[in-house]
Chains A and B, each alone.
Chain A
Amino acid sequence: MISVTHLNNDWDGIFSLKDISLDIKKGEYFVVLGPSGSGKTLLLELIAGIHIPDSGRIDIGKKDVTTESPEHRNVGFLYQDYNLFPHYNVRKNIEYGLRVRKMSKEFIDSRIKELVDIIGIEHLMDRDVKTLSGGEQQKVGLARALAYRPDVILLDEPFSSLDENTKHALIHEMKDIHSREKATIIHVTHSQEESMLLADRIGIMMEGRIVQVGTPEEIFYKPTSVDVARFVKIENVWEARVVTRDEEAMLLRIGDKELVAPPIKVQKGSEVRVIIRPEDIILGHGQVTSARNTFLGKVVSLEKCGFYYMVRVDCGFPVVAAITRRSVDSLGLEPGKNVEVLFKATALHVIEK
Chain B
Amino acid sequence: MGLVIVLFVFITLFNLLYKQLLLDPGNFFSIVTDSMVLRSIWLTLYASFLATLIAVVLGIPLAYFMARHDFFGKQLLEAFIDIPIIIPHTVAGIALFSLLTRKGTVGSVFENLGIVFQDSLWGIVVAMLFVSYPFFVNAAKEGFASVNPNLERVARTLGASQWRSFYNISLPLASPHIVSGAIMSWARGISEFGAVVVIAYYPMIASTMIFYRFNTGGLQESQPIAVLLILICFLTFALFRYFSRKRRR
Which of A's residues lie within 8 Å of B, judged by CB?
45, 48-50, 69-71, 73-77, 79, 81, 83, 85-87, 96-97, 100-101, 144-145, 148, 154
A contact residues around B26 at 8 Å (CB): none
Q: Of B150, B159, B162, B173, which contacts A100 at CB under 8 A?
A: B159
Q: State how many angstroms separate the Cβ of B71 from the closest Cβ of chain A.
A: 14
SS of B interface (majority):
helix
A69-B158 in contact given A83-B151, A87-B172, A87-B173 (Cβ < 8 Å): no
A77-B160 in contact given A83-B148, A87-B172 (Cβ < 8 Å): no
**Complex alpha-carbon distance, A217 and B154, angstroms:** 34
- How many residues of B sit at the interface, in one of the four size bands? 10 to 19
Chain B 161-184 per-residue mask, 1 if CB under 8 angstroms from chain A, else 0: 110100011001100000000000
Q: Of B150, B159, B161, B162, which contacts A83 at CB under 8 A?
A: B150
**Complex alpha-carbon distance, A314 and B9, angstroms:** 81
**Complex alpha-carbon distance, A73 and B154, angstroms:** 13
* B158 and A100 contact, CB distance less than 8 A: yes
B contact residues around A83 at 8 Å (CB): 148, 150-151, 153-154
Nearest to A82 among chain B residues (CB) is B154
Q: State how many angstroms separate the Cβ of B170 from the closest Cβ of chain A.
A: 11
B156 at the interface (CB under 8 A from A): yes
* A73 and B157 contact, CB distance less than 8 A: yes
B155 at the interface (CB under 8 A from A): yes
Beyond A71-B159, A83-B154, 19 additional pairs, beta carbon < 8 A: A45-B153, A50-B153, A50-B156, A70-B157, A71-B156, A71-B161, A77-B153, A81-B150, A83-B150, A83-B151, A85-B155, A85-B169, A87-B172, A96-B155, A96-B158, A96-B168, A97-B159, A145-B158, A148-B159
Q: State how many angstroms separate the Cβ of A150 from the closest Cβ of chain B.
A: 8
* B160 and A71 contact, CB distance less than 8 A: yes
3 nearest CB pairs, A to B: A70-B156, A97-B158, A77-B157
A77-B154 in contact given A83-B148, A86-B173, A87-B172 (Cβ < 8 Å): yes
B contact residues around A76 at 8 Å (CB): 157-158
Nearest to A47 among chain B residues (CB) is B157
- The listed residue with most B CB atoms (<10 A of its CB), out of A71, A77, A86, A144, is A71
B contact residues around A50 at 8 Å (CB): 153, 156-157
27 contacts between A and B (CB under 8 A): A49-B157, A50-B153, A50-B157, A69-B156, A69-B162, A71-B159, A73-B157, A75-B157, A76-B157, A77-B154, A77-B157, A79-B150, A81-B150, A83-B151, A85-B151, A85-B155, A85-B168, A87-B172, A96-B155, A96-B158, A97-B159, A100-B159, A100-B160, A100-B164, A101-B159, A145-B157, A148-B158
**Complex alpha-carbon distance, A76 and B164, angstroms:** 17
B contact residues around A101 at 8 Å (CB): 159
Q: State how many angstroms separate the Cβ of A107 from the closest Cβ of chain B.
A: 15
Q: State how many angstroms separate the Cβ of B167 from the closest Cβ of chain A.
A: 11
**Complex alpha-carbon distance, A74 and B164, angstroms:** 16
